[in-house]
Homo-oligomer: A and B are copies of this chain.
């Protein structure tokens, strides 16, 4: 059914134009009109793919999540040693290159914007906490985790470290290099291991 595939491909292109618009102009500038221009579409053509601005922004955020999930799955499939794998898995959710920095920028702008938009948006439900709980469980199941750790507190702490580093990497990219981020993660993951 090539028509449906084209439809989805076009929606992705529009989502990417949305990210570029947010990166250049901030959320204030992410109007349907500006996004259409960035995507090289008429306003009417864009409306064919997304009826409302909120639908478009929601979809653009979903794609950010999907891209991160795809990267995580790639790392999960490797057979790196457990410590290294755990660090690499955490690095996938912290902006350390142009692509992930752009994703974080979009997430940040979108989350701030959505806070005054009421209940339709739940950008915080990005699945990261569930993902980190899964990582702690995996370490535990494989007998890597120190005994007597409170897994729930450790998951909450690792979640805070991940989003704290992500926020600082976004706001102070010159101070917080990838090396510094890695050093914190390596040190922390090692502190969890037997």
- Where the two chains meet, the residues of A that have a C-beta atom closer than 8 Å to any C-beta of B are 25-29, 105, 108-109, 111-113, 115-116, 123-124, 150, 153, 156-157, 159-165, 167-168, 171-172, 176, 180, 183-184, 187-188, 191
Contacts and interface: CB of A to CB of B under 8 A. Distances in A.
Contacts of A184: 153, 156-157, 160
Q: How many copies does the complex hold?
A: 2
A44 to B, nearest CB: 26
Nearest to A108: B112
A176 B160 CA distance: 11
Contact of A112 (B109, B150, B183): B109
A192 to B, nearest CB: 11
A164 B167 CA distance: 8
Contacts of A105: 115
Given A163-B168, A167-B163, A168-B163, A157 B113 contact: no
B109 A115 contact: yes
